[in-house]
Amino acid sequence: MVRLSDVAEKAGVSAATVSRVVRGEGKVGDKCRAHVKQVIAEMGYRPNINARALASKKNEIIGVITPNVTQAFYGALVTGAENAAQQVNYRVMLNNSHNQIDTELDAISSFRENGSQNIVYHSNVASNEQLINLAKEIQGLVVLNRYIPEIAHRCVWLDNTAGGRLSVKHLIDKGHRKFVFLASNQDLQDPVDRLKGAKGALLEAGIPWLEENVGYIMPSIDNGMKGISQLLERKCEFTAVVAFNDSLAIGAMNRLQDLGVKIPEDVSVIGFDNTDICKACRPQLTTTHYPIAEMAKYATELSLKLTTTDEIDSTKTHLYLPHVYERDSVATRSAC
């Protein structure tokens, strides 16, 4: 491995000078710089990252914490972050936390020990207090998919209330008036907000909210099937099902089809997220698009900005709006 000092010796300058041209900082004479660059190219020198990190206490690493990249949603998240990282030659360190707070905290410690100040953190288990405290300590920490007023300018999140409202409004516009909801039973804000939005859309349209028409379950295809069965047993009447996410929607859809219900002719179904599986089912799933890849990309850019510039506007948060992505699982209901 060729070192900085090797380059310096061959170029006939000091190590300090080479360091300056490598980093592109400090004053260096034009022809001196050109010469050094030449030698660097000739020798194929590449800086030792660990030595650099040790001396500067910085490292070009962006840590990404996510429950589990096996799930399409989080895969898209990581891809978005990695995309932004590649543009500035940063590396991404990944942690699958499996929703274990200890694992998440440990990953954060580890990232920091590696000299990384840049962390994009999606947590379903950390408390607001924990996040606020971490944000104080870690300059480049960005909280993804969550809104915490105290650190609003460090949050990149989706307007889930609007999402819930849009989903339902889309169905109302198509003539539906009898709904059933497959909600998440996870102790998170997202499910609450989406339901709140849904409720709002209903009230606006003068449709009563029936709590008995809501099933709370852990999101998965299998549970979507179970959930819709339970709703059916309760003798809920509906022409549309609104699901917390795509998996639940697809489970519901498939179970209904098994029972001879035609989608979307008899019942319309709408999902949430717009993950890849929406194209696998039949009919293809109409869903509310969650631009997670873009959001993750933006979040890592924000993290970078947080650690490199002072001009951050701490009075502003970063809120994304979802929109309905139409496929084939929702149909117009002429009469009701």
| Contact set with DNA (CB under 7 A) | 1, 3-5, 12-17, 19-20, 22-23, 25-29, 32-33, 45-48, 51-52, 54-57
Specify the residue, 47 or 200, whose C-beta has the smaller distance to DNA.
Answer: 47
Q: Which range of residues in 19-27, 43-51, 148-156, 162-170 is near a copy of itself by CB under 8 A?
A: 43-51
Report how far residue 293's alpha carbon sits from residue 75's, in angstroms, rounded to the nearest whole number.
9
Strand locations in 61-169, DSSP E?
61-66, 91-96, 118-121, 140-144, 155-158
Q: Which does 88 bind (CB under 5 to 8 A by kind): a copy of itself, DNA, none?
A: none
196 closest CA partner among 151, 148, 250, 244: 244
**Binding marks (x or -) toward a copy of itself, 235..274, rule CB under 8 A?**
------------x--x---x--x-----------------
148 closest CA partner among 165, 163, 133: 133
Smallest separation, CB 183 to DNA (Å): 48
214 closest CA partner among 190, 239, 245, 241: 241
The correct pick among 53, 132, 192, 207 for binding a copy of itself (CB under 8 A) is 53
Q: Which range of residues in 135-143, 190-198, 278-286, 295-303 is near a copy of itself by CB under 8 A?
A: 278-286
Unique residue bearing structure tokens 């701490």: 314
Judge contact between 189 and 256, C-beta under 8 A.
no
Both tokens of 315, joined, read 């009075």
Applying CB under 8 A, what is the total number of residues that bind a copy of itself? Answer: 48
Cα→Cα distances 168→254, 301, 322, Å: 21, 33, 13
Contact between 75 and a copy of itself by CB under 8 A: the answer reads: yes
Specify the residue, 1 or 41, whose C-beta has the smaller distance to DNA.
Answer: 1
Smallest separation, CB 307 to a copy of itself (Å): 17
Smallest separation, CB 48 to a copy of itself (Å): 6
The correct pick among 5, 38, 87, 109 for binding a copy of itself (CB under 8 A) is 109
Centre a 10 Å sphere on the Cβ of residue 293 and count the other Cβ atoms it contains: 18
Smallest separation, CB 120 to a copy of itself (Å): 13
Contacts of 190 (CB under 8 A, 6+ apart): 145, 160, 184, 244
Contacts of 297 (CB under 8 A, 6+ apart): 80, 81, 83, 84
- Contact residues toward a copy of itself (CB under 8 A) are 46-51, 53-54, 59, 61, 68-72, 74-76, 78-79, 82-83, 86, 91-96, 103, 109-110, 113-115, 221-222, 247, 250, 254, 257, 276-277, 279-282, 293
